[in-house]
Structure 1
């Protein structure tokens, strides 16, 4: 079970780190309905599209790195514990939550940076 938990944790973490780097360095060039961070606000124009991808990428990059380090430590501390399975389930739930939290964080950042029409606030 420890090996599975470690592999799962690393896959989740490296997925966040990988997409974070892609979104920061090479976000989708054009607004589309199939690939990328797609919300009503992020799709207003190229500026909001680019901003949303870079911001979401930074959130995923940071959270993926922290996630990997913290959860590997926690898994190793509790590997022989009777509550190990519960710990793994909790970690899985937290990882999914972190993965999804990029949406409200990015939307808040978009609303702080742009008006409702997608023009930058000064």
Structure 2
């Protein structure tokens, strides 16, 4: 019984990253946070230069997370289904490996969005022609 509850805990934990990617991605793609701020949203120096870069960065990163979140969620569900019924040590180790793998698309949004910002805007935040 303990193994089952631990597996449920690990399943819930494994769904946090892809779930966050999908929920925040949809939110950011639709509407960025109201004001440019350093506390919430996609926050880098390049994205916070002006309103236009702020909105572009949120729309781009939101779409990226939604596109990357779907396969990440699918892989996570299959991975955890394969771990069902295993001992606590195996579920814990392989669940940790899954979390590290999930961090790749979760963090890949940063270089991808920064490249897109560089491609779309000059060093002063003005849209390139």
Work out which of the two has the higher radius of gyration on C-alpha atoms and give 1 or 2. 2
- Alpha-carbon distance between aligned partners in 1 of 2:12 and 2:83, rounded to the nearest angstrom: 16
- Alpha-carbon distance between aligned partners in 2 of 1:62 and 1:52, rounded to the nearest angstrom: 15
Q: Say how many residue pairs are matched.
A: 122
Q: How far did residue 24 of structure 1 move?
A: 0.8
Which of the numbers 9, 12, 16 marks the counterpart of 2:21? 16
Which of the numbers 106, 124, 128 marks the counterpart of 1:117? 124
Would the alpha carbon gap of residues 4 and 114 (structure 1) be closer, same or farther in structure 2, given more than 3 Å must change? same
- Alpha-carbon distance between aligned partners in 2 of 1:89 and 1:104, rounded to the nearest angstrom: 24
- Tell me which residue corresponds to 1:45: 50
Would the alpha carbon gap of residues 35 and 84 (structure 1) be closer, same or farther in structure 2, given more than 3 Å must change? closer
- 5+ long unaligned stretches in structure 2: 1-5
State whether residues 22 and 69 of structure 2, in contact with CA within 8 Å, keep that contact through their aligned partners in structure 1: yes
- Tell me which residue corresponds to 1:66: 71
- Tell me which residue corresponds to 1:32: 37
- Tell me which residue corresponds to 1:108: 115
- 5+ long unaligned stretches in structure 1: none
In the superposition, the TM-score normalised over structure 1's length comes to 0.87
SS of 2:15 mapped into structure 1: helix
State whether residues 32 and 41 of structure 2, in contact with CA within 8 Å, keep that contact through their aligned partners in structure 1: yes
- Alpha-carbon distance between aligned partners in 2 of 1:84 and 1:29, rounded to the nearest angstrom: 41
